[in-house]
Amino acid sequence: MKRELMLRNYSPKTIDSYLSSLKQYFGFSAGNLARINVEEIKSFLLDKKAKNYAPQTINLHLNAIKFFYRHIIKSPIQIPIKFAKRSRRLPVVLSRGEINQILSSIHNRKHRLMLALAYGAGLRVSEVVKLRIEDLDLNELTIHLKEAKGGRDRITIFPEKLLPDIQPFAALRNRSDYLFPSERGGKLSTRTPQKVFEIALNHVGIKRKASFHSLRHSFATHLLENGVDIRFVQKLLGHRNIVTTQRYTQVSNSVLKRIRSPFE
């Protein structure tokens, strides 16, 4: 299973998730694993649902099981189970003032720049830690993200406001170096920027359940509020489907601010 996933160029994170899901199913199943038992698969997924697993996680388990029987066992039998309906929660978006509060509370320059760039360019945490100096074109104010989510490259904008901080930060280092290296010089763990964000969030007293990814949500929402066409926002975020980007229109305040409540 692992070799087949690697040959198909699945990301290391997806491979680990698929193998973990399959291991859990094997532990749950009491029958012959070489044969598809639809009712047993359903029971396994319902057990996850009873334990309050998110729909996305249940779908991941189902994907792993389907991959195993389709590509490893090579069973011609279909698994007629539909994917769990995903929740339609609105993303948590921070205001511009809240983002300024968070950044101002961070005194470590590298940590502050990590968060500022994540917001200013709409980056995922995995993209922040993988970023190399050579990926930045400071003359054109662009960032080339290589093998981002789904193995796709994309170009996003570099915030001009960060030029005075980034230029000396990246100077006198090899262009192939990580922009935000660990203390040992290698790649940072994704947990590091997430932890920096959580500490700053608590420090400034913001109570909402925001995460590092909220910086990316805020980037998209604020661009729409500034009048940027949604198609451009879709490209900057690297979304395949415009529907994914459209959810940010539901949390944009630009239209709401022009509407008066009838309660007067």
User: Any idea which residues carry the catalytic annotation?
Assistant: 124, 149, 213, 216, 239, 248
DSSP 228-261: --HHHHHHHHT-SSHHHHHGGGGT-STTGGGPPP
Burial 217-243 (b: 16+ CB within 10 A, else e): bbbbbbbbbeeeeeeebbebbbbeeee
| E strands, the chain, in order | 136-137, 142-145, 154-157
Residues 6+ apart with CB under 8 A from 180: 110, 113, 114, 128, 129, 131, 188, 193
Burial of 214 (0-12, 13-18, 19+ CB in 10 A): buried
What would the two tokens of residue 213 be?
Answer: 């990814």
> What is the SS3 assignment for 118?
helix
